């Protein structure tokens, strides 16, 4: 996983390349993004939220496709709507499946390269197509492509001019598991190269795998930001589920129930699951309880330290 090296606070990073300042976007009475104050820097940042949370709207405003209702977004200190030159440094993969059906993938990507002003569009297109592994099918028209292949063609077109900032709206949609894994590796690699990658996705496990930092949006607002672990730690008052593998689950459970930090215990033949509201105290007490119950502990692991659990908590 990659992360931003300089973090000012949860919402802002020190070496920011994409900055939203009091950004709001509304359509009539409907507020899509509300007072968003957040920045993004090098590395992969996952933009997370349920449908209607404002992720796509934010990415479209950031890309300059939509005008902010108030506030602003800058990319590399420039506003895309005022300075189209910034698109030399920006790649965007829209959520929509649409592509130019009449073009071949090679033509589409080299056309993007040429319009972006790269030195050698044909060569750059070949490189980008190779990166997303579409070389063999590159001379077929996009109309004949599957959804996943179209996504990869769009990613190639977004990458072809070697941008410093990539805005990816659900880029893994339609890709098969192998291609998803490859695209995730690609985004990780690009992030490690120092590019700013903002990825929106509803596939939590994938965001967790690729994003060093997560910005969670709910109802148009930033509900939380930070690493998955940091978000989880910040929710110290939230019950956590800890699994303890042991050879004597029942005696150990009895000892653990002594502490008032344990809310519930579920015992199985070789393990116990402890729901606690104070993981640190539980951690300190486990060794004592094991000694008293003469139990041998083989592993202790958090069961719900996933992005899914963080996200469910935020949404609820």
Partner 1 sequence: MHMRSLLLIIGSITGRLMNLRRSIAMFLLAAAPTPLIIMIGLGRPEHFITERYNEITATLGIAILYPVVALVISTAALGEERKAHTLPFLLLKPVSRWVIALGGLTAAAVSSFVILEAGVITTWVTTGVMTGDWSLGASTTVAVAIQSVASAALFVPLGLILNRATLVGLGYLFLWEGILAGLISGIQASSVYRIVLSAWADLADMSPDTYDGVAFALGRVATGTGGAVAKVLVMALASVVLTGMVLRNRDLVGE
Give the residues lining the site for partner 1 (CB under 8 A).
27, 30, 32, 56-57, 60, 63-67, 80-81, 84-88, 90, 92, 94, 96-100, 102-103, 108, 111-112, 114-117, 157
Q: How far is the CB of 63 from partner 1 (least distance, A)?
A: 6
User: Closer to partner 1 at the Cβ: 82 or 291?
Assistant: 82
Strand partners, 13: 7
Q: How far is the CB of 178 from partner 1 (least distance, A)?
A: 26
Residues 6 or more apart whose Cβ sits within 8 Å of residue 5: 14, 15, 42, 43
- Taking the CA of residue 288 as centre, how many other CA atoms within 13 Å lie in the half-sphere pointing to its CB? 10
DSSP run (H or E) holding 267: strand 262-267
User: Closer to partner 1 at the Cβ: 169 or 305?
Assistant: 169
What CA–CA distance (Å, rounded) separates 196 from 187?
10
Q: How far is the CB of 83 from partner 1 (least distance, A)?
A: 9
Q: How far is the CB of 260 from partner 1 (least distance, A)?
A: 49
User: Closer to partner 1 at the Cβ: 98 or 205?
Assistant: 98
Are the C-beta atoms of 156 and 105 separated by less than 8 Å?
yes
Q: How far is the CB of 171 from partner 1 (least distance, A)?
A: 14
182, 231, 230, 232: which is closest to 209 by C-alpha? 182
- Residue identified by tokens 């060093």 is 212
User: What 3-state class would DSSP assign to 265?
Assistant: strand
Residue 170 has phi, psi (to 5 degrees) of 50, 55
User: Closer to partner 1 at the Cβ: 66 or 262?
Assistant: 66
User: Closer to partner 1 at the Cβ: 135 or 141?
Assistant: 141
What CA–CA distance (Å, rounded) separates 21 from 35?
8
User: Closer to partner 1 at the Cβ: 121 or 191?
Assistant: 121
Q: Could you tell me how many helices (H) and strands (E) the chain has, helices first?
A: 10, 13
User: What 3-state class would DSSP assign to 313?
Assistant: helix
Q: How far is the CB of 73 from partner 1 (least distance, A)?
A: 14
The percent helix, strand, coil of the chain (3-state, each to 5) is 35, 30, 35
Q: What single-letter DSSP state applies at residue 117?
A: T
User: Closer to partner 1 at the Cβ: 195 or 213?
Assistant: 195
Q: How far is the CB of 88 from partner 1 (least distance, A)?
A: 5
Q: How far is the CB of 89 from partner 1 (least distance, A)?
A: 9
What CA–CA distance (Å, rounded) separates 73 from 23?
7
User: Closer to partner 1 at the Cβ: 116 or 173?
Assistant: 116
């Amino acid at each position: 996983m990659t992360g931003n090296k300089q973090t000012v606070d949860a919402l802002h990073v020190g070496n920011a390349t994409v900055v939203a300042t009091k950004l709001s976007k509304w359509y009539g009475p409907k507020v899509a993004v509300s007072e968003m104050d957040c920045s993004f820097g090098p590395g992969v940042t996952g933009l997370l939220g349920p449908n209607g949370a404002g992720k796509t709207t934010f990415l479209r405003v950031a890309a300059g496709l939509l005008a902010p209702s108030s506030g602003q977004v800058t990319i590399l200190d420039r506003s895309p709507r005022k300075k189209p030159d910034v698109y030399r440094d920006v790649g965007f993969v829209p959520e929509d499946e649409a592509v130019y059906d009449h073009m071949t993938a090679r033509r589409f990507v080299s056309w993007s390269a040429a319009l972006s002003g790269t030195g050698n569009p044909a060569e750059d297109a070949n490189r980008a197509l190779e990166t997303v592994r579409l070389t063999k099918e590159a001379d077929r028209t996009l109309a004949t492509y599957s959804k996943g292949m179209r996504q990869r063609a769009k990613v190639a077109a977004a990458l072809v001019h070697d941008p410093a900032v990539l805005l990816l709206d659900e880029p893994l949609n339609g890709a098969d598991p192998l291609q998803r894994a490859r695209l995730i590796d690609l985004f990780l690699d690009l992030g490690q190269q120092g590019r700013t990658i903002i990825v929106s996705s509803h596939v939590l496990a994938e965001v967790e795998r690729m994003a060093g930092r997560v910005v969670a949006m709910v109802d148009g607002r930033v509900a939380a930001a930070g690493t998955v672990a940091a978000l989880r730690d910040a929710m110290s008052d939230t019950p956590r589920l800890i699994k303890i593998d042991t050879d004597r689950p029942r005696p150990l459970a009895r000892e653990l129930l002594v502490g008032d930090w344990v809310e519930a215990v579920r015992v199985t033949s070789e393990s116990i699951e402890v729901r606690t509201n104070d993981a640190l105290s539980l951690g300190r007490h486990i060794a004592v309880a094991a000694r008293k119950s003469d139990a041998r502990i083989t592993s202790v692991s958090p069961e719900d330290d996933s992005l899914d659990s963080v996200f469910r908590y935020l949404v609820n």
